[in-house]
Amino acid sequence: MTLFERYLTLWVALCILAGLALGSLFPAAFATLARLEYASVNLVVAVLIWAMVYPMMVAVDLGALKSVGQRPKGLILTMVINWLIKPFTMAALGVLFFQHLFSGLIDAAKAPEYIAGLILLGAAPCTAMVFVWSQMTKGDPNYTLVQVSLNDLIMVVAFAPIVAFLLGVTDIAVPWETLILSTLLYVVIPLAAGALTRAALLRRGGEAAVTAFTARIKPASMLGLLLTVALLFGFQGPVILAQPGLIALLAVPILIQSYGIFALGYGAAYLWNLPHKIAAPCALIGTSNFFELAVAVAIGLFGLNSGAALVTVVGVLVEVPVMLSLVAFANRTRARFAP
């Protein structure tokens, strides 16, 4: 591990502070960047995420994907946690905190919107960033690709019914453009580019050439992560600084859910004797969220300035620090898992 990677959490913290400061000092510039979006997908952030995802896609061996089906445990565990547990525990936490524990600390009229925001986060498991977290834990790139792809297929048919059931509404307008564009930008295009790059490298120098290339471009992946953090906090800097107490309250159930879901997935993977290269990505997929989808639906259903939209944004802001802490824990406990 390089010095840069060893202190990655420190660099992320500095980027958070830089983003907050720059967002407050130059709100017009960040507002301009925030408007560069299509179907609720910010194009600047999309480019940075693409830079993070691409190195792992180079490591994907398409010829080895057929062997993933011979190890179904990780796929089963991912799907059960993502679709049978996570949305419902997030809804329960929302009711517990915003209708009971925090009832005297928040606007009672906003409580249903805060709960709705949590439900939207819980029903939208992560897509793109999983590739980053998997790479940082030395996850199996082929298996991670299949996990994410299967997750996306289920999301297409399960997201709207689950959200409708938990919100008690039936008219859920799923932003198909956001779903399709995000899948293309974060999975299909990087995978195609990675496959072409890998084929060229294999022809030139075999697996050694692939390893050397991914090592060279890894700093670009980390730089993309840091710039993404700075941008996200810059976009929301004024909101965070104007309502720090409310932001902290909204973050509590999200943090509890994140660490709880990871503990459940990671612990179950350990008890089921999954190898670490499958167990770590499996637990991390359920922990993180597809924030573009959650934010888009929150704005569509409740409005840009709603409590639901604010909760989904808070989910974005806490995700990277939380996921880095879990990546660090997963790396420290690798030796406990079966080889």
pLDDT at 329: 95
Mean pLDDT per 10-residue interval, the chain, length 339 residues: 65 87 90 83 82 76 67 88 93 92 86 90 81 88 84 80 78 67 77 88 89 82 81 80 87 94 95 93 87 75 76 84 92 88
- Condensed to tens digits (0 to 9), the pLDDT of residues 194-244 reads 889 989 999 998 888 988 888 788 777 778 878 887 887 888 777 778 888
Among 3.40.50.20, 1.10.3720.10, 3.20.20.140, 1.20.1530.20, name the CATH number for the domain at 3-336.
1.20.1530.20
pLDDT at 271: 94
Reported pTM: 0.80
pLDDT at 170: 47
Instruction: Please name the residue ranges forming H helices in the chain.
Output: 3-6, 8-25, 27-34, 43-59, 73-80, 86-96, 111-122, 128-136, 141-167, 176-183, 189-235, 237-242, 244-271, 276-287, 291-302, 307-332
What residue segments make up the domains of the chain, in order of their start?
Answer: 3-336
Structure token pair of residue 102: 């925090």
pLDDT at 215: 79
pLDDT at 339: 67
Burial 28-40 (b: 16+ CB within 10 A, else e): eebeebbeebeeb
pLDDT at 331: 93
